[in-house]
């Protein structure tokens, strides 16, 4: 095992933390920044109607499918090495996307960007966990990491709209390389978590789980485009379920499963994964729903549509600072349950949005409660997993958590984006939110988390 570099001094810890958070900001920025640029892409590249949504969704499919693999790779070959390599690739591939001559090249570039993002997220969290070994300090750091990373989600629609109006959709990608360079400079003294090279690599489990997550996300996205009865949606979803069944069979026969059973045996981890999936379903599905609905209903420009999403996006930049402190003080259980309850409240408010032009205060209240779902449950779930997972599985556990989060996001966009109606979406959120409250409460009933 190679010798570890000394841990960063307190003098450099804040800069190192900023570098880790800035790299993750890029990942969230690219989940939303292209949404408002889609009409400009259509005018510029003249893609087929069926191909256009994949300019956005290719990123999500590959990102979700490879997150677990990215976590395993970071644990095995070193979070610092994987983080730096993924960050460099993200910068280079962003320039490739900006130069795409046609929609096929753009879709391919977006898919490769998703692969780079899948390396960034679990590696960045593993580095953060190593940088903050004390549990209470770690939960606060994760809250701050989530808040700073949330700048990407908040800035994406607004920045994307401004860049499109300034110079077209290609500028949306050219903003990434300078941010990536800044992240590398800030994080020059990244910590070096210990390698676990003696752990055997579970290649069958890794391949099956990666294929299952990718197929599931692909099918969910296609369901939102073609409808739930389309073979292009049903076939990959069924194939994904078969992959997950195969994973369950294969993992019983290998000495070091890709998703260690010890993780899933922990009530904290199970509750966190349910909360993460449902909160991302509600939050990102709601963000997409509002972006489309506001443009169609009020005929907004891309920039104005981005501004209209700020009540939903801006709290993500602020509240996770406090969420981390709340988890450190009270545990993650009440935080997760409050976040799930907020999704139910947002569903009730959306269900009341009847008519073509419902009252704007009602829409604002629905956006704010959806924001509460994201700002409580997402960092709360990450903190719960970070505290409970064994150190040797730091990146693996976060890769699994983020893979489930992305599947929830894709399902939210597919379901809420297909419905299009605020009222119907509200009823869906009520049902999903109530189910999540029951599952999280049941999973943690006998455990203080």
Domain count of the chain?
3
Query: Which range is least confidently modeled, 58-67, 151-160, 353-362, 369-378?
Result: 151-160
Domain encompassing residue 205: 201-257
**Residue 2 falls inside a structural domain:** no
pLDDT at 266: 81
- Convert the pLDDT of each residue in 64-113 to its tens digit: 778 777 887 887 788 888 898 999 999 999 999 999 999 999 999 999 99
Same-domain pairing of 283 and 360: yes
Same-domain pairing of 21 and 96: yes
Angle, alpha carbons 278-282-288 (nearest 5°)? 140
Same-domain pairing of 137 and 175: yes
Chain centroid to CA 317: how far?
15
Q: Which of 97, 91, 150 is nearest to 280 (CA)?
A: 150
Same-domain pairing of 30 and 174: yes
Same-domain pairing of 93 and 127: yes
Q: What is the CATH number of the domain that holds 426?
A: 1.20.1250.20
Same-domain pairing of 243 and 263: no
Same-domain pairing of 46 and 75: yes
Q: Kindly tell me if the per-residue pLDDT of 25 is higher than 90.
A: no
Q: Which of 90, 79, 80, 99 is nearest to 30 (CA)?
A: 90
Same-domain pairing of 250 and 267: no
CA distances from 441 to 127, 137, 436 (A): 31, 26, 8
End of a domain among 238, 257, 276?
257
**Residue 235 falls inside a structural domain:** yes
> Per-residue pLDDT averaged across 323-335, rounded?
80
pLDDT at 125: 80
Same-domain pairing of 208 and 128: no
Q: Is the dihedral of CA 39, 45, 50, 56 positive or negative?
A: negative
Q: Kindly tell me if the per-residue pLDDT of 2 is higher than 50.
A: no
Cα dihedral value 272, 275, 280, 285, nearest 10: 170
Residues 170/84, Cβ–Cβ less than 8 Å: no
DSSP letters along 145-173, please? HHHHHHHHHHHHHHHHHHHHHHH-TTHHH
Q: Kindly tell me if the per-residue pLDDT of 236 is higher than 50.
A: yes
């Amino acid at each position: 095992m190679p010798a570890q570099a000394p841990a960063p001094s307190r003098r450099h810890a804040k800069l190192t933390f900023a570098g880790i958070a800035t790299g993750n900001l890029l990942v969230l920025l690219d989940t939303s920044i292209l949404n408002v640029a889609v009409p400009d892409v259509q005018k510029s590249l003249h893609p087929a109607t069926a191909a256009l949504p994949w300019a956005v969704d290719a990123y999500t499919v590959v990102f979700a499918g490879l997150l677990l693999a990215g976590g395993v790779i970071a644990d095995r070959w070193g979070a610092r090495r994987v983080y730096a390599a993924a960050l460099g690739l993200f910068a280079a591939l962003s320039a490739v996307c900006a130069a795409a001559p046609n929609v096929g090249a753009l879709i391919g570039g977006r898919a490769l960007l998703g692969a780079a993002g899948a390396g960034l997220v679990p590696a960045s969290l593993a580095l953060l966990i190593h940088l903050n070994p004390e549990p209470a300090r770690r939960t606060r750091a994760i809250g701050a990491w989530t808040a700073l990373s949330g700048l990407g989600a908040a800035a994406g629609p607004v920045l994307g709209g401004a860049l499109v109006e300034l110079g077209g959709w290609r500028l949306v990608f050219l903003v990434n390389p300078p941010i990536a360079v800044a992240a590398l400079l800030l994080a020059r003294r990244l910590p070096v978590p210990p390698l676990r090279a003696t752990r055997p690599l579970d290649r069958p489990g890794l391949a099956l789980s990666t294929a299952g997550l990718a197929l599931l996300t692909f099918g969910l996205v296609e369901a939102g485009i073609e409808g739930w009865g389309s073979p292009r949606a049903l076939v990959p979803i069924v194939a994904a379920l078969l992959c997950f069944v195969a994973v369950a069979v294969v993992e019983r026969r290998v000495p070091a499963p890709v998703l260690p059973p010890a993780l899933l045996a922990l009530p904290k981890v199970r509750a966190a994964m349910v909360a993460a999936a449902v909160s991302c379903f509600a939050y990102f599905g709601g963000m997409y729903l509002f972006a489309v609905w506001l443009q169609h209903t009020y005929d907004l420009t891309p920039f104005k549509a981005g501004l209209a999403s700020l009540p939903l996006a801006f709290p993500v930049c602020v509240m996770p600072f406090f969420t981390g402190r709340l988890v450190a003080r009270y545990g993650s259980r009440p935080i997760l349950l409050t976040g799930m309850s907020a999704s139910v409240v947002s569903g009730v408010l959306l269900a009341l949005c009847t008519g073509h032009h419902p009252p704007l205060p009602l829409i604002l209240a629905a956006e704010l409660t959806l924001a509460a779902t994201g700002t409580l449950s997402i960092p709360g779930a990450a903190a719960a997993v970070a505290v409970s997972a064994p150190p040797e599985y730091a990146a693996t556990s976060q890769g699994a958590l983020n893979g489930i989060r992305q599947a929830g996001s894709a399902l939210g966009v597919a379901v809420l984006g297909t419905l299009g109606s605020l009222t119907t979406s509200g009823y869906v959120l009520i049902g999903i939110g109530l189910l999540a409250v029951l599952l999280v409460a049941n999973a943690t009933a006998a455990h203080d988390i």
